[in-house]
Amino acid sequence: MSAKRGGTRKNAKATATALDKLGIGPLLGLQPVNQGACTGKWISCAGGQELISVSPADGSPIAAVRQADEAAYEKVVAEAVAAFPAWRMTPAPARGEVVRDLGNELRAVKEPLGKLVSLEMGKILSEGLGEVQEMIDMCDFAVGLSRQLSGPTMASERPRHRMYEQWHPLGVVGIITAFNFPVAVWAWNAALAAVCGDTMVWKPSSDTPLTAIAVQNICNRVMERHNLSGIFNLVIGPGRTVGERMINDRRVPLVSFTGSTAMGRRVSQATATRFGRSILELGGNNAILVEPDADLDLTLRAVLFAAVGTAGQRCTSLRRLFLHKKIAKQFLARLVKAYGSITIGNPLEKGVLMGPLVNAAAVEDYLAALATARKQGGKILYGGGVVDRRGFFVEPAIVKLSSQVPIAREETFAPILYVMEYDDLEQAIAVHNSVDQGLSSAVFTSSMYSAEKFLSHEGSDCGIANVNIGTSGAEIGGAFGGEKETGGGREAGSDAWKAYMRRQTCTINWSSQLPLAQGVKFDV
């Protein structure tokens, strides 16, 4: 989703005070008008279109970006390609030290960068700060990983032979991120790619270009300190100019894409056509099942954050809530009351729990989904309206459904919760699994039987399955990603690093004989 963006340089300068009032502009290296391409040094994009970054809290412009044109894109990718040979030969632990330095730089600017995330994207301040902390945690994880990029030694059937697996740097990694996590998802990819010996080119969302520029300025300081360039690179531009070139660029062997399923399909097809790779983090239609023996106090807190946090604009946001009939009436009454206590407002203000949607188009999608839900038999128990104030604010909505109607099978990036009842856990799991998406899921229960069933082969078909915690919130140590139309990609933890490297199987013969495998004889 993209807002209509426009404006003049004059407007951008006039409203640059938004950064000044927060005291974050100079700390993050932001100007009233910024260049949209960088390889360690900023590249002039004088010929590029001007993009105005807008605050979703009041609709006012924050600052401008001169977007990259084709020539700027070529300069950035060429620099990333040129930097790769030396970077891949830098010992992995030394690459880890660069990432350690990046994490320390992020620690120093955690507060101003977190405020910028809230200002430009609209999530509340604690979430903005939490996103920067996620970047820091990812750097720490990657530093440790830099000494563990190992492969197994395997038994050979041939005598006096040794067979082993090793991993080599892949090349230039293209990173395309979405507006809802404007910096954390970049860090998931960039920290791993860096320690794996790859260089990278980042294309951020056009809704959140300033956060990307701020992060690039941090990367520039780190690269300069280590006499590097071309490792962390940035190119801001329209999809037709930058995105299409990146996904079709044979110099970019891997593209990591976070966004819509429709665009993910396009990325997958384009990279596959040239035999490139893709990591896809696409749509989620996440659900919680609540059993009769669940701790309802715990469940209530989990449902509230999962459904309302980030104004329902997480890929892991709770969309569907399945309540066992024995507790449905009781829990729904409590949930409606709790929704009434949600404070909506400026995400930078203390006490606010829900900020705005990202743009006007998102508001329209929210209203359209609710209208469709009504037509399909849904009853709105709470919310459903637009908040009468500047910005893109809506009420979080609860919609009661008698069954999983078509609208509940879709992902709407807004705070809409579809509630359904069930009699039998097995039946509920089947309905839960019947949608096209497969990202995050959870069951709330005190029963070991119910928990284990949900986590079993016949349980949740999602990439993330939880017991007694919500659907939102990824921890760095675990691999993040989902199945089906969620794309199948994995980022951040576990062995996700392998996607950023190429595998090589090696066999060494340390004898004077040449035995063949499988008993084959070929004697001359």
Give the C-alpha separation, 459 to 481, whole Å: 17
H-run or E-run covering 281: strand 277-281
Cβ neighbours, 10 Å, residue 244: 14
Examine the residue annotation and report whether 462 is marked as an active-site residue of this protein: no
Q: Do the beta carbons of residue 493 and residue 480 sit within 8 Å?
A: yes
Examine the residue annotation and report whether 452 is marked as an active-site residue of this protein: no
289: amino acid identity, one letter: L
Q: Do the beta carbons of residue 174 and residue 203 sit within 8 Å?
A: yes
Q: Which residue stretches of 2-109 are H helix?
A: 9-14, 17-22, 25-28, 70-88, 92-108
Give the C-alpha separation, 307 to 286, whole Å: 10
Give the C-alpha separation, 355 to 18, whole Å: 17
Give the C-alpha separation, 15 to 397, whole Å: 33
Among 35, 28, 34, 32, smallest CA distance to 15 is for: 32
Give the C-alpha separation, 348 to 123, whole Å: 8
Q: Is 458 left (phi over 0), alpha (psi -120 to 50) or beta?
A: alpha
Q: Determine which one of 315, 395, 411, 491 is catalytic.
A: 315
| Cβ-based neighbours of 517, under 8 Å, separated by 6 or more | 157, 158
Q: Determine which one of 281, 395, 411, 421 is catalytic.
A: 281
Q: Which residues pair with 161 in a beta bridge?
A: 509
H-run or E-run covering 297: helix 296-308
**CB-count exposure of residue 456 (10 Å: 0-12, 13-18, 19+):** exposed
What is the SS3 string spanning 346-402? CCCCCCCCECCCCCHHHHHHHHHHHHHHHHCCCEEEECCCECCCCCCCECCEEEECC
Give the C-alpha separation, 352 to 124, whole Å: 7
Give the C-alpha separation, 431 to 38, whole Å: 48
| Cβ-based neighbours of 42, under 8 Å, separated by 6 or more | 35
* Catalytic sites, residue numbers: 281, 315
